[in-house]
Amino acid sequence: MKRRALIQHLKRHGCYFIREGGKHSVWGGSEEGAKAAIPRHTEL
């Protein structure tokens, strides 16, 4: 899966960008403060 497609999917489902990490981006969801680290590779 391409990173861009995953980010578009996350946005459509109500997730939001929180911050950039060392080699990843941190995204949050509306469900009880859930967070996920998304690597900055073009192909996931």
Domains in the chain: how many in total?
1
Q: 38: closest CA among 1, 6, 5? A: 6
Is 16 contained in some domain? yes
Residue 34 lies in domain: 3-39
Is 44 contained in some domain? no
Q: What is the pLDDT along the chain (44 residues), one digit of tens a residue?
A: 999 999 999 999 999 999 998 899 999 997 788 899 999 998 98
Residue 20 is predicted with a pLDDT of 94
Residue 30 is predicted with a pLDDT of 76
Is 20 contained in some domain? yes
By the 8 A CB rule, do 18 and 28 touch? Answer: yes
Is 19 contained in some domain? yes
Residue 6 is predicted with a pLDDT of 94
Determine the straight-line distance between the first and last CA of the chain, rounded to whole angstroms: 5
Instruction: Write out the two tokens for 21.
Output: 């990490």
Residue 31 is predicted with a pLDDT of 74
